[in-house]
Every structure is written in structure tokens, then in C-alpha cells.
């Protein structure tokens, strides 16, 4: 069997600047619009497409299914996997299932609390956190799972997966030291690439990157496309670790409604150009504005 490999890993291992995109599965079974967006605006322009996993605890179609459908259409996915909804049995089983379906890139996330979402009566699991999930992937790759047999010996696998393992970090957190400590643990646990929370302050990002020089894992800076001044203000107010400078908020405030998308693209491209020398890639989170990705890539001089 000719095993598929991670193109994202090949790009980063070669020292090339990698760009990834992101789509969210639908709340229902109508997956065609999301797949169409990925094929029309992301395919051929990004190295891989993240598929969110019940993001912000709002029930949606599963990430693994959408990743598999993207693979069928020639688009490399990144399987986002949160620990909130599965115990270690389910996490390990889903990892093996994903590998069997051809999925190689996995982003380990602890997951937002259900209080943020639309099923607040749901029970959180959090049997493992993101570090534990990375360790579980490493164990599976070594040929055993997290369990033990009746004699106390590690359970052996019949067939071993191989993943390109990712994690997240928040460079602009109010208290950045805990983020660095957690990132160090993730790297030790086997993380091979890092995607960041949204960054809008290149100076703060440069300071963070200088603080993690000892962590030898490629970093993809996260850019969430700002659709309006109201969205920027909301992120400052409600999204931990995100700081949109006043100058950017003012640019969005001054932009006529018909020019907001144009200004949003310009801001994203400027940020990427400023931070490209500091990192190994960019992760574009367009929140449904996938049609803006080609312009962002062109203006950021990534094409």
C-alpha cells in the first residue's frame, strides 16, 4: 500500500514558508458549500486546510468526516482534535480511524468549555489535555496505546500510524510565561509544528519568538481576518490572548462598508509581510471569507 504523506510536513521540513487555511464544518449535513470554498479558494494556494472540531463548543458535523471528504477531492486536511468531548479510549480510536482514512496532520487542542457553546448542559470530558493527546499520538506511533493488558504490559498495536503532530500557543496572552511553559511541554511530548492564536502586533510577536528560540518547532503565525471594527473590539473584549491595536480598529472604523473586505485583506497581508521573517508560516482563519485568501496571499507576496 502506498501510504500518503503530509505535504505540510514536507514543506516545513524543507525550510519553506507554509500557509494553511481553515474551514468550519456545517451545522447539519450540507457539507458541499464548505468543500466548494476549500476547492475554489484554498486548493493550490495553501499547504493544508484545518477543519475545526466542534469549535467554541457549538455542535457541528465532525472534523474527521470533512477531512476525509477533502482528501477525496485532493485537498490536504489538518484534523483538529479537541479533548473536551472524548476520553482517551475515544481519542485513540479516532486517531487510528483518521490515519486509516489517510489523514496525517493532527492538531491537538484541549478545547473550549461547553459554557461557550449551544449545549451548555453537556458534560465536559477533558480526560486528556493537549499535551496528553500529543503523548498519546507518540505512544501510538511507537506501537502501543495508553492501556495495559491483564499482566500490566502495554497493549501492542497491529499496525502503527504516523502523524504530523501540531499544537497551539497564544503569543499575546496577558501572562505569556505559562504559554511558553506549556509550549515546551508540547514540544517535549512530540509536537512538530505550532499554530498560534490570532496575532495583530508584530512587535509583541517578535518578542515572543525571541523567548521561544530554544523550542525547535516551526511556528505558523495565526491571522484571523477582521471583518469590521465591531469584530475587532469584540475580540479585544472577549477573546483571551488577542490584542487588536487601536490603529487597526481605527482603520476598520474609517473604512466604508463596501471597502471593509478590501481593508481587511490589506491588514492581513501587511501583518504577514511584517511577521514572515520571524516564523515559518502563516495560518489564515477567514471565518467564511475564504474568497479573500487569494488576495491575501498575493498582497503578502507569498505567491
Instruction: Give me the pLDDT at residue 2, please.
Output: 54
E strand residue ranges, 9-59: 18-23, 48-51
pLDDT interval class at 5 (50, 70, 90): confident
Boundaries of every domain in the chain = 7-227+276-288
Relative to beta strand 164-169, strand 105-109 is parallel
Question: Do 199 and 168 meet the contact criterion of CB atoms below 8 Å apart?
Answer: no
In this prediction, residues 181-192 reach a mean pLDDT of 98
CA 258 – CA 260 distance, rounded (Å): 6
Instruction: Give me the pLDDT at residue 1, please.
Output: 44
> Hey, which CATH number is domain 7-227+276-288, 3.40.250.10, 3.20.20.220, 3.40.190.10, 3.40.50.2300?
3.20.20.220
Question: Do 105 and 8 meet the contact criterion of CB atoms below 8 Å apart?
Answer: yes
pLDDT tens sequence across 236-274: 999 989 999 999 999 999 999 999 999 999 999 999 999
Instruction: Give me the pLDDT at residue 303, please.
Output: 74
Cell 465536559 belongs to 124
pLDDT tens sequence across 81-129: 999 999 999 999 999 999 999 999 999 999 989 999 999 999 999 999 9
Amino acid at each position: 500500500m502506498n501510504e500518503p504523506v503530509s505535504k505540510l510536513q514536507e514543506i516545513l521540513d524543507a525550510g519553506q514558508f507554509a500557509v494553511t487555511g481553515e474551514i468550519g464544518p456545517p451545522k447539519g449535513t450540507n457539507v458541499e458549500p464548505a468543500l466548494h470554498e476549500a476547492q475554489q479558494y484554498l486548493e493550490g494556494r495553501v499547504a493544508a486546510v484545518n477543519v475545526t472540531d466542534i469549535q467554541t463548543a457549538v455542535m457541528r458535523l465532525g472534523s474527521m468526516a470533512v477531512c476525509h471528504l477533502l482528501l477525496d477531492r485532493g485537498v490536504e486536511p489538518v484534523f483538529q482534535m479537541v479533548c473536551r468531548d472524548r476520553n482517551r479510549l475515544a481519542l485513540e480510536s479516532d486517531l487510528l480511524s483518521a490515519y486509516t482514512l489517510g489523514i496525517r496532520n493532527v492538531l491537538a487542542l484541549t478545547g473550549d468549555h461547553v459554557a461557550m457553546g449551544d449545549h451548555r448542559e453537556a458534560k465536559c470530558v477533558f480526560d486528556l489535555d493537549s499535551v496528553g493527546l500529543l503523548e498519546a499520538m507518540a505512544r501510538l506511533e511507537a506501537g502501543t496505546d495508553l492501556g495495559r493488558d491483564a499482566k500490566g504490559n502495554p497493549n501492542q498495536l497491529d499496525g502503527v500510524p504516523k502523524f504530523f503532530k501540531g499544537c497551539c500557543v497564544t503569543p499575546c496572552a496577558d501572562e505569556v510565561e505559562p504559554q511558553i511553559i506549556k509550549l515546551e511541554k508540547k514540544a517535549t511530548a512530540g509536537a512538530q509544528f505550532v499554530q498560534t492564536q490570532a496575532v495583530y502586533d508584530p512587535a509583541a510577536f517578535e518578542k515572543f519568538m525571541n523567548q521561544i528560540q530554544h523550542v525547535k518547532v516551526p511556528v505558523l503565525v495565526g491571522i484571523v481576518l477582521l471583518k469590521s471594527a465591531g469584530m475587532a473590539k469584540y475580540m479585544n473584549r472577549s477573546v483571551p490572548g488577542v490584542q487588536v491595536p487601536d490603529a487597526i480598529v481605527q482603520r476598520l472604523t474609517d473604512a466604508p462598508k463596501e471597502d471593509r473586505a478590501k481593508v481587511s485583506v490589506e491588514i492581513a497581508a501587511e501583518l504577514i509581510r511584517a511577521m514572515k521573517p520571524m516564523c515559518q508560516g502563516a495560518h489564515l482563519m477567514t471565518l467564511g471569507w475564504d474568497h479573500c485568501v487569494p488576495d491575501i496571499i498575493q498582497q503578502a507576496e507569498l505567491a
